[in-house]
Structure 1
């Protein structure tokens, strides 16, 4: 049985031979997860199942929010945006990864690589801002409930959501414009399963200092400002909830924040580890493992977290399932 790892090295060797007299790269090789053919088949099945499950989960959440009037609230409006974002987010990386499992060619063109990098960064930045907006929503609901209908009016919610998307995509333009202008030398082998910032910077044969500084500053701006908003919001929330005299009321207030807080901890832990660094990352195999957490595992777990930790979403989902099951039972009894 041919070993997939040997195939990867042969491909990389061919790239070196073709490009030894050429200092510019027109395509890259995504190594992905080099291993035996049998294990690659198993990984293909696992990642395909996770991908389909994630897409289905997020579509169900979006459908629930749109079709059920009791979920037409600011908190669920932003949750719908988060579900749509994560369906797009996992679709940027996993389909290409699945292709690398089933075809011998691991190549990706320079243009496709930059496009993948652009949408990936844009969605990461958008999620950072959107999670901060959701924290602010919980702050407004718990700390200033009398002003909440005005503070989080439909127009304000639309502006906050639109601003999150615009800011994320504009930051991505800045980062990718500097990276795409670098010169890349052969062999163009990326030890990752998608085009990410650090592996690309490691391949640059030009002076990458400016690109690294721009990447570092924009990463700090994108991560630390939303994280500061989240920390301040939850500090005020905890202070306000602790002043509530009834334990049941305190528990109810905390329960509306628990799912969002869990998502924030998982997402920001991984992204801070990966991107809040002043230089390109060297531990590439560890990068791939951490990347799996926030590009594949987190989008899969988030719908479960929001459904299992949010009583209103659970009740709505059960109501929909029961209403669908009732006609089936009636039909069966008629027969």
Structure 2
């Protein structure tokens, strides 16, 4: 197994290949992990693909909420596909080496798609805010053109900054080690391997996290504070329950994704633990995308009805 090559240049060792340690500390569970992650990947692909299909085919789901849900499902497939196939290859071959360029590409796509997910979740919260707090103007505000623009904006908004952040990180010299104690090329464990002063990179990471993670999260909180105050004014308990049910699935996904992601990236360097980082990363990279289709289908009567119609279940 190749563990990377190190070239000496001007008395400074420069890493040209990394090793993703991943789950190498669990040698007796490698076979189980392969089957478990393969099953999870199949569930994610099938579940999210099914949501995309039914939201496109069923006339009852031709609404902005389900348009954004289809975008979110496609995003989840892309997001997971950046990390999970590589994990499976590493487990299957036991060759955990990854080139500098491949590591940079993985990090860049992971950051761009993660940013897109943050913004799309904020857009979905805004959609619910307009639907509940301003229902008479909802068709006018959330028209097709606006929905498409908001979806495209969510997908591309973080690209320039995240490409810049990735370039900034990989312009560093990596001379301490070439072993990344993680299962993919994430920002904190890669920066940890750099030699020299990484203060600017760490400040950049925190600043980008605040803007692209905390920013959308506070927009979601603002939307839901308005939504909840409006729902509580509804005259009937049935009306309040119906309004809450349209928001509960999205709110649960938000808490799972933002909770683990924020703790991972905003936790102080002194309090970091590689094993805790891995566990938290598993939540927002794999566990949340696996549960998202279940959360949105099991808690949404329209989606369940469309699914039964597609599968000819009475």
TM (normalized to structure 1)?
A: 0.89
Which of 87, 90, 95 matches 2:80? 90
User: Which residue of structure 2 lines up, in the alignment, with residue 80 of structure 1?
Assistant: 70
Which of 170, 173, 180 matches 2:160? 170
Structure 1 SS opposite 2:94: coil
| 2:146 pairs with 1:156 | yes
In 2 relative to 1, CA 74–22 (structure 1 residues): closer, same or farther, beyond 3 Å?
same
| 2:280 pairs with 1:290 | yes
TM (normalized to structure 2)?
A: 0.95
User: Which residue of structure 2 lines up, in the alignment, with residue 239 of structure 1?
Assistant: 229
Question: Deviation at 1:19?
Answer: 6.2
Which of 209, 215, 233 matches 2:199? 209
Structure 1 SS opposite 2:153: helix
| 2:54 pairs with 1:64 | yes
**Aligned counterparts of 2:104 and 2:271: Cα–Cα separation in 1:** 19
Structure 2 SS opposite 1:83: helix
**Aligned counterparts of 2:94 and 2:8: Cα–Cα separation in 1:** 20
* CA deviation map 1:107-140 (0-9, x unaligned): 0000000000000001111101110000000000
Structure 1 SS opposite 2:157: helix
Question: Deviation at 1:171?
Answer: 2.7
Q: 4+ residue runs of structure 1 moved beyond 6 angstroms?
A: 18-21
Which of 253, 258, 266 matches 2:256? 266
Which ranges of structure 1 fall in alignment gaps of 5 or more residues? 1-6, 327-335
**Aligned counterparts of 2:268 and 2:103: Cα–Cα separation in 1:** 23
User: Which residue of structure 2 lines up, in the alignment, with residue 117 of structure 1?
Assistant: 107
**Aligned counterparts of 1:36 and 1:180: Cα–Cα separation in 2:** 29
- Which has the higher Rg, Structure 1 or Structure 2? 1
| 2:301 pairs with 1:311 | yes
Question: Deviation at 1:76?
Answer: 0.5
Instruction: Choose 263-272 or 30-39, whichever is displaced more.
Output: 30-39
8 Å Cα contact 2:133/2:226 also seen in 1? yes
**Aligned counterparts of 2:241 and 2:73: Cα–Cα separation in 1:** 26
RMSD: 1.9
**Aligned counterparts of 2:42 and 2:219: Cα–Cα separation in 1:** 33
8 Å Cα contact 2:83/2:106 also seen in 1? yes
8 Å Cα contact 1:31/1:191 also seen in 2? yes
User: Which residue of structure 1 lines up, in the alignment, with residue 95 of structure 2?
Assistant: 105
Which ranges of structure 2 fall in alignment gaps of 5 or more residues? none
Q: Aligned residue pairs: how many?
A: 313
User: Which residue of structure 2 lines up, in the alignment, with residue 4 of structure 1?
Assistant: none
Structure 2 SS opposite 1:244: coil
In 2 relative to 1, CA 36–229 (structure 1 residues): closer, same or farther, beyond 3 Å?
closer
**Aligned counterparts of 1:217 and 1:210: Cα–Cα separation in 2:** 10
Question: Deviation at 1:229?
Answer: 0.9
8 Å Cα contact 1:198/1:280 also seen in 2? no
User: Which residue of structure 2 lines up, in the alignment, with residue 252 of structure 1?
Assistant: 242
User: Which residue of structure 2 lines up, in the alignment, with residue 132 of structure 1?
Assistant: 122
**Aligned counterparts of 1:36 and 1:234: Cα–Cα separation in 2:** 42
In 2 relative to 1, CA 48–113 (structure 1 residues): closer, same or farther, beyond 3 Å?
same
| 2:298 pairs with 1:299 | no
